[in-house]
Amino acid sequence: MFQNNPLLTLLKKNLHAKTPRIEGVVKSTERGFGFLETDAQKSYFIPPKHMKKVMHGDKIIALLKIEKDREIIEPEKLVAPFLNRFVGQIEKKENKLFIVPDYPFLKTLIICINYKNSSNVFHNGDWVVAKLTKHKLNGNHFFYAELIEKIIKNNDPFIPWRVTLARHNLPKQEPLSNINDFKLKDECDRKDLTNLDFVTIDNSNTKDIDDALFINQNITGDFVLTVAIADPTAYIKKDSQLDVIAYKRGFTNYLPGFNIPMLPRNLSEDICSLNPNERRPALACRINILKDGSISENIIFFLAWIKSKSKLSYDNVSDWIEQSGTWQPPTKSIKNQILCLHRLCLLRIKWRSKNSVLFKDNPEYRFNLSENGNILDIFIDKRRIAHKIVEECMIIANMSAAKFLSKHIGFGIYNVHTGFDLINAENVVSFLKDYNLNFTVEEITTLKGFCKLRRVLNILSNNYIDNRIRRFQSFGDFSIVPGPHFALGFSEYATWTSPIRKYSDMINHRLLKSIIRKETPIKPSEEIKLKISEQKRRNRTAERDVSDWLYAIFLQKEKNRNKKFNAEIIDISRSGMRARLIENGAYVFIPGVFLHKNKTELLFNQEMGKVFINGILIYKVSDVISVILSDIRLETRSIIAKPEN
């Protein structure tokens, strides 16, 4: 009698309309159920039957219901799918193709809808790019995806690189080029400096050499440093096809084992590269550094021809300065150049230790790979004295460029860092008081006060305090107008020393040239600045993703099982600790279950960076502990470790 009853239908409609709705993001678990996390930092339970309608990461609107005295979520409407364009692996079942997305917590088999003409091309385990076309919450019975391209076949040793580049939609190879296009288009006058003994100092295998140095010291003790930088803008016209390609790429993408250049290799590694005994066009800067270490206001930029007299390596120069090894400078003149550069380096380090900020020498790690992509070993690359010589010269050059741009036109591509915002500054001051370090908010939000704080922390040399303070700092960014760089300790900073590798440096080259030629400069747009920032972020993410993959592969080897590693705790989360293996740089996660069996007695304080058991401090960020690898999950590139004892 109730069938087709309009009153009952209206009642159901009214009840449905009154049911509360929640918007949030789906978080799945390995046990089938999930949670809807809202902006209010609250989670709602999603039963397994409803999780089948959604994917981890989907943004949805859901009905909030009560079942058995418990709040549950029933997905109603899709706001934004987590998957759009994505990478995954092919899985064949009963002559049908499915794709499994390559994301943690996403193991859903998605039906491929355009494989009929390519069933012989795609094989089980192949890596592909796909696009989600149908979602269950949009009224479909299944998830569907369209295959866009095949990335690489299964078991290929280059999977980590190819898949990562495809995931982030980054170029896989150098730009296509026609060598006949690389003719000198910059017909302006250049000073002939080919008789000067310029030298380059790089890694022994560096091919894209973009900086050369020449120095002398006068009788008053002042230094005169000439920095010559490779000049790709002499060959690449603004808005040309190659210029647009460089703009889109933004940077040379340095990945473990190899790089994908911003410019064609025959330009970056040959025609523009400051190779020894080759006449090359350059943008040069002559800077006077006074005997107290400060930089004179007398800064001159000009166009030049140079000829590097020797390609030196970091290791050889460092060995010679440190009086180890057998290498000797090839000529007396080059020997004098090295000695003079070394004196300048020590002077500038001393000056910066008193007037700005000195960098902490964190270890860098390098993968040793075979030609076919197999990992042979991982080495620690220590920053030696020759690295510091080049670093100090580049800092001088970039500070000088910033001053020159600001003085003459008032814009460019500047590297900026704002230190602490007001709220974080208050947190820093409060934190430091616990260690009898008295600063004020007003003080540390100025460049001078920030530098003073960093110098105090360097002297204190407390890794825990240093880690906590860095968590409050802002991130570096780009700006088209002058601004301070607190982390470096400079009132302004603009890089121009790597135009072969950075499009932002190419922009600054063109601006510097416009000043030299007395032409009207074109101010960079906010859009260009944002594009460069985004591309830098994508490249860094890709580098991290490839490294994580290679670490997982490397540490799976038999020799690493049951091996003890020293690891520095770098972060505390709600469920465990992140640490970095000191021997090779791999990041590992230590779950709470490995720290204490009774989780009710275990407290992870993220704000303090400390772990307590029954109120007693057990671990803190910066502690070095001994760990053993427990599990390596290649599918998620995650490494699980546990304390040795």
Q: Do 585 and 468 belong together in one domain? A: no
Let me know if 202 is a catalytic residue: yes
Q: Which residues of 535-573 are buried (b: 16+ CB within 10 A; e: fewer)?
A: bbebbeebeebbbbbbbbbbbeeeebeeeebebbbebbe
Picking from 56, 80, 104, the residue at the C-terminal end of a domain is 80
Tell me phi and psi for residue 468, to 5 degrees. Answer: -65, -40
Q: Do 271 and 408 belong together in one domain? A: yes
Q: Do 192 and 70 belong together in one domain? A: no
Rounded CA gap, 527 and 506, in Å? Answer: 16
Tell me phi and psi for residue 531, to 5 degrees. Answer: -65, -45
User: Which listed residue (211, 231, 505, 545) is catalytic?
Assistant: 211
Query: How far from chain centre, in Å, is Cα 557?
Result: 27
Asked whether residue 480 is domain-assigned, the answer is no
User: What are the tokens at 332?
Assistant: 């007396």
Let me know if 210 is a catalytic residue: yes
pLDDT in tens, 295-351: 999 899 999 999 999 999 999 999 999 999 899 999 999 999 999 999 999 999 999
Lowest-pLDDT choice from 102-116, 200-214, 374-388, 391-405: 102-116
Check whether 73 has a pLDDT greater than 80.
yes
- Give, in order, the Cα–Cα distances in Å from 571 to each of 264, 604, 625: 40, 10, 13
Q: Give the pLDDT of residue 177.
A: 76
Mean pLDDT of the chain: 92
pLDDT in tens, 179-200: 667 788 777 789 999 999 999 9
Q: What is the CA radius of gyration of the chain?
A: 29
Rounded CA gap, 40 and 19, in Å? Answer: 19
DSSP 42-78: -EEEE-HHHHTTS-TT-EEEEEEEEETTEEEEEEEEE
As a whole-number percent, the residues of the chain with pLDDT over 90 amount to 78
* More confident position, 139 or 578: 578
Q: Do 445 and 335 belong together in one domain? A: no
User: Which listed residue (501, 510, 580, 637) is catalytic?
Assistant: 501
Asked whether residue 228 is domain-assigned, the answer is yes
User: What are the tokens at 489?
Assistant: 């300790």
Reference 458, options 550, 349, 321; nearest CA is: 349
Let me know if 280 is a catalytic residue: no
Farthest-apart Cα atoms in the chain, separation:
111
Q: Give the pLDDT of residue 186.
A: 77
Asked whether residue 12 is domain-assigned, the answer is no
Tell me phi and psi for residue 389, to 5 degrees. Answer: -60, -50
Lowest-pLDDT choice from 98-102, 168-172, 324-328, 371-375: 371-375
Domain count, the chain: 5
Picking from 474, 496, 518, the residue at the C-terminal end of a domain is 474
Lowest-pLDDT choice from 2-11, 48-57, 245-254, 616-625: 2-11
DSSP state of 335: H
Rounded CA gap, 36 and 40, in Å? Answer: 11
> Residues near 631 by Cβ (< 8 Å), separated by ≥ 6?
639, 640
Amino acid at 271: I
User: What are the tokens at 611?
Assistant: 């772990």
Range of the domain at 57: 19-80
DSSP state of 585: -
Q: Give the pLDDT of residue 493.
A: 98
The angle at the Cα of 640, spanning 639 to 642, to the nearest 5 degrees, equals: 140
Asked whether residue 3 is domain-assigned, the answer is no
- Give, in order, the Cα–Cα distances in Å from 529 to each of 406, 413, 421: 17, 7, 22
Residue at token pair 């019975």: 141
What is the domain-level CATH number for residue 624? 2.40.50.140
pLDDT level of residue 41 (50, 70, 90 thresholds): confident
User: What are the tokens at 378?
Assistant: 């991982």
pLDDT in tens, 456-493: 999 998 999 999 999 999 999 999 999 999 999 999 99
Q: Do 470 and 493 belong together in one domain? A: no
Reference 145, options 155, 158, 135, 153; nearest CA is: 135
Q: Do 236 and 380 belong together in one domain? A: yes
Picking from 80, 97, 114, the residue at the C-terminal end of a domain is 80
Q: Give the pLDDT of residue 304.
A: 97
Contact 220, 168 (CB under 8 A): no
Asked whether residue 167 is domain-assigned, the answer is no
DSSP state of 264: -
Q: Do 326 and 285 belong together in one domain? A: yes
Q: Give the pLDDT of residue 348.
A: 97
Rounded CA gap, 242 and 478, in Å? Answer: 23
Paired residues of 569 in beta bridges: 579
Specify the pairing of strand 279-289 against strand 59-67: unpaired
Asked whether residue 170 is domain-assigned, the answer is no
- Give, in order, the Cα–Cα distances in Å from 419 to each of 282, 387, 444, 515, 571: 35, 26, 8, 31, 21
* More confident position, 83 or 359: 83
Q: Give the pLDDT of residue 358.
A: 87
Contact 214, 397 (CB under 8 A): no
Tell me phi and psi for residue 568, to 5 degrees. Answer: -95, 125
pLDDT level of residue 448 (50, 70, 90 thresholds): very high
Q: Do 239 and 374 belong together in one domain? A: yes
User: Which listed residue (208, 231, 505, 545) is catalytic?
Assistant: 208
Contact 335, 317 (CB under 8 A): no
Let me know if 115 is a catalytic residue: no
pLDDT level of residue 155 (50, 70, 90 thresholds): confident
Q: Which residues of 17-38 are buried (b: 16+ CB within 10 A; e: fewer)?
A: eeeeebebbbebeeeeebbbee
Let me know if 211 is a catalytic residue: yes
Check whether 277 has a pLDDT greater than 60.
yes
Q: Give the pLDDT of residue 13.
A: 54
pLDDT level of residue 108 (50, 70, 90 thresholds): confident
Q: Do 496 and 470 belong together in one domain? A: no
User: Which listed residue (58, 102, 126, 210) is catalytic?
Assistant: 210
pLDDT level of residue 14 (50, 70, 90 thresholds): low
Q: How many CA atoms lie within 13 A of 269 on its CB side?
A: 12
User: What are the tokens at 266?
Assistant: 């025959």
User: Which listed residue (247, 314, 503, 587) is catalytic?
Assistant: 314
User: Which listed residue (202, 243, 545, 548) is catalytic?
Assistant: 202
The residue-averaged pLDDT of 369-394 equals 92
Q: Give the pLDDT of residue 12.
A: 52
Let me know if 501 is a catalytic residue: yes
Rounded CA gap, 282 and 499, in Å? Answer: 11
pLDDT in tens, 494-508: 999 999 999 999 999
Check whether 18 has a pLDDT greater than 80.
no
pLDDT in tens, 558-614: 788 788 999 999 999 988 999 999 999 999 999 999 999 998 999 999 999 999 999
Residue at token pair 């039957």: 49
Q: Do 258 and 213 belong together in one domain? A: yes
Rounded CA gap, 113 and 561, in Å? Answer: 43
Check whether 9 has a pLDDT greater than 70.
no
Rounded CA gap, 306 and 10, in Å? Answer: 86
Q: Do 323 and 238 belong together in one domain? A: yes
Specify the pairing of strand 375-381 against strand 364-369: antiparallel
Asked whether residue 4 is domain-assigned, the answer is no
What is the domain-level CATH number for residue 135? 2.40.50.640
Asked whether residue 482 is domain-assigned, the answer is no
pLDDT level of residue 117 (50, 70, 90 thresholds): low
Q: Give the pLDDT of residue 559.
A: 82
Q: Do 237 and 316 belong together in one domain? A: yes
